[in-house]
Amino acid sequence: MAFDTVQTPAGKAESVLGGSVNYFSVAASFYAPIRIVGVVGEDFPKSHLGWLSEKRIDVTGVQIVPGKTFHWVGSYDGNLNEAKTLNTSLNVFEHFNPKLQASHTDTPYVFLANIDPVLQQSVLDQVKPPKLVALDSMNFWITGKPDEVRKTLQRVDILSINEGEAFLLSGERQLMRAAQKIQAMGPSVIIIKRGEYGAALFTRNGAFLAPAFLVDRVVDPTGAGDSFAGAFMGFLAEAGASREMAAQDPARFENLLRRAVLAGCVMASFTVEDFSLHRLMRLTSDELVRRQGELLKMIQVL
Amino acid sequence: MAFDTVQTPAGKAESVLGGSVNYFSVAASFYAPIRIVGVVGEDFPKSHLGWLSEKRIDVTGVQIVPGKTFHWVGSYDGNLNEAKTLNTSLNVFEHFNPKLQASHTDTPYVFLANIDPVLQQSVLDQVKPPKLVALDSMNFWITGKPDEVRKTLQRVDILSINEGEAFLLSGERQLMRAAQKIQAMGPSVIIIKRGEYGAALFTRNGAFLAPAFLVDRVVDPTGAGDSFAGAFMGFLAEAGASREMAAQDPARFENLLRRAVLAGCVMASFTVEDFSLHRLMRLTSDELVRRQGELLKMIQVL
């Protein structure tokens, strides 16, 4: 949960709502009910938590503690694929240690957003064996706590990561080789996000290459990756995908993963059309379904 | 027709065979017979012209004139999508003025490789109305002779161009808008090449987004775009696609265009696996068919 101040070629947004959990949960809520765990300061608008809880998002795991909410300041230049971080104020996030309430320990689909890998492992220690566990991470942890990242990787089914991070983690510069090296570290499913070029999925059965939906105008790329992940996981949860299905009906599991990636691409394409969560907050199911059809048409060969 | 001296992260190749016509014609010859028009100096190996003519490539339109062959010197750094030109020696190419022999004026599929747009128009003046005309161009002409580029665009069906060039030509930074603006200049079919991310096709029916095939190792990206175009045009020629088909059976034309784009992506993926034409020269039809199947699997959703 965060405030973001973002400058893009389209304009500037000051202290708007952001954070992985925000983007992820709103995106996922189009597909499945969500429980979120996070921390905010006393400056965080309660009205937003209220709005989230109206959308199948259980916010009882969000701690409100004295102090200020995490604040990220960043900008995008010509290259909208990569944010430049200008300032990070951890604030209440600095001492965040996720403790799950009893009613949340039985959660079938777990997404570990980007945070210290030690804390990611602690969350896994607290939950009953889930149907699927997915992980996000970033350069900061890959270089700063490589051993802990490796330990976390051994315990997850799916890794969702940027192209540059995949190269860094694997030490390989070709996508296929990078994915294979990361698979050998634990997760059988690797999703490599490629910004405006879409996403690549790697499973034991090979690669699936999904393009980004072509939007008329990218206003702000912030949250594209998190809303991608939210729609992806929400889609899998709604479809009942699981480790068990992967073993018993790999073809069905594979196809659900592919459709989940496309759902992620579509969701991300809405996110970038406006600053903050603005576009997702006014997104309708009809718009979502229509664009999913349009993206399928953009990759169809008869 | 050219000699290239190329430095890439994988190594260096000195004065090796290159040039759009070379890459294009070898790629296209897997699909259809080819006639090429070009110029070389007396230093150009006749053995190579002999090799080309054994591959359904009619080289009688290649003038051999006193002097040296065009020589390009370039390098690729970390970003394999963009070449840095270190030196260009036009040599015999400087005064090249393509004159088609009588037997070549009745050529159903015409590809105008990157050259002065005035010369591209002169080639069109010399041929009987073809079934399809495709055009390549580049920054140098788009900024240097914009009016002549516009005149040429009005006379072609298909434009094949890099992403950066499409943005330059259209003045737009979003792919869809860029394509629509260029369509308004004449060509109804726009192919935008996106390097390691594949290619996008725009027709009156919308967009098709094709990924690049994932190779194990990119040795040298030189010629990827030209061999893409060669396979694309060769595929359309073999399939009998035409302006007439576009009008009478647009769905069939659309699907042929999409398959032609995939054929282009596959061919380009072989080209980059080695320096110069080395990989294309040892490429077999079996390998081509196998990789086409693999690429189709990488975009399939059931």
| B240 pLDDT more than 90 | yes
pLDDT reported for residue B57: 98
Mean pLDDT of A145-150: 97
Question: pTM of the predicted model, to two decimals?
Answer: 0.94
How many C-beta atoms surround the C-beta of residue B90 within 10 A?
12
Query: Which chain B residue's Cα is nearest to A212?
Result: B209
- Best residue of A79, A80, A197, A249 to probe chain B, by most B CBs closer than 10 Å: A197
How many other CB atoms are there within 10 angstroms of residue B115's CB atom? 19
Q: Is B140 on the interface with A (CB under 8 A)?
A: no
Chain B 216-245, residues with CB within 8 Å of chain A CB atoms: 216-218
Between chains, do A206 and B298 touch, taking CB under 8 Å as contact?
A: yes
pLDDT in tens, B259-286: 999 999 999 999 999 999 999 999 999 9
What is the rounded average pLDDT for all residues in chain A?
96
**Cβ <8 Å between B206 and A296:** no
Tokens, residue B188: 């109804």
pLDDT tens per residue across span A37-70: 999 999 999 999 999 999 999 999 999 999 999 9
* A211 contacts on B by Cβ (under 8 Å): 198, 200, 209, 211
For residue A296, which residues of chain B lie inside 8 Å, CB to CB?
301
* The pair of three-digit structure tokens given for residue B245, joined into one six-digit string: 């088909």
- Reported ipTM exceeds the 0.90 cut: yes
Q: Do residue A211 and residue B206 have CB atoms under 8 angstroms apart?
A: no
CB A235 within 8 A of CB A31: yes
**A1-20 exposure pattern, b = at least 16 Cβ within 10 A, e = fewer:** bbbbbbbbebeebeebbbbb
For B301, which of A194, A198, A262 is closest by C-beta distance?
A262
Q: Which two tokens stand for residue A187?
A: 């997760």
Closest-CA residue to A175 (of A186, A163, A187): A163
Among the partner residues A208, A298, A302, nearest to B209 by beta-carbon distance:
A298
Q: Which long-range contacts does A269-273 make (Cβ < 8 Å, 24+ apart)?
A: A269/A212, A269/A213, A269/A215, A269/A295, A270/A227, A271/A23, A271/A27, A271/A223, A271/A224, A271/A227, A272/A80, A272/A215, A272/A218, A272/A219, A272/A220, A272/A221, A272/A224, A273/A215, A273/A216, A273/A217, A273/A218, A273/A219
Alpha-carbon span B271 to A230, nearest angstrom: 38
Q: Are B197 and A200 an interchain contact pair (Cβ–Cβ within 8 Å)?
A: no
Chain B residues near residue A259 by CB distance under 8 angstroms: 301
Q: Does B150 touch chain A (CB under 8 A)?
A: no
> How large a percentage of chain B has pLDDT more than 70?
100
pLDDT (average), residues A140-165: 96
Q: Which residues contact B189 (CB under 8 A, 6 or more apart)?
A: B157, B158, B159, B201, B202, B203, B257
A198 touches chain B (CB under 8 A): yes
CB-nearest to A216 from B176, B208, B217 is: B176
B113 CA to chain A: closest CA distance, Å?
27
Query: What share of chain A has pLDDT > 90, as a percent?
Result: 95
Give pLDDT, residue B296.
Answer: 97
Q: For the sheet containing A71-75, what is the strand order?
A: A11-18, A2-8, A71-75, A84-89
pLDDT band at B89 (very low <50, low <70, confident <90, very high): very high
Residue of B217, B218, B301 with shortest CB distance to A258:
B301
CB of A252 within 8 Å of any CB in chain B?
no
Q: What is the pLDDT of residues A202-227, one digit of tens each?
A: 999 899 999 999 999 999 999 999 99
CB proximity A185 to B under 8 Å: no
The C-alpha of B177 sits at a distance from chain A's nearest C-alpha, in angstroms, of 7
Would you put residue A124 in left (φ > 0), alpha (ψ -120 to 50) or beta?
A: alpha
User: Are the beta carbons of B176 and A209 separated by less than 8 Å?
Assistant: no
Inform me whether the pLDDT recorded for B144 exceeds 80. yes
Model pLDDT for residues B34-66, shown as the tens digit of each residue: 999 999 999 999 999 999 999 999 999 999 999
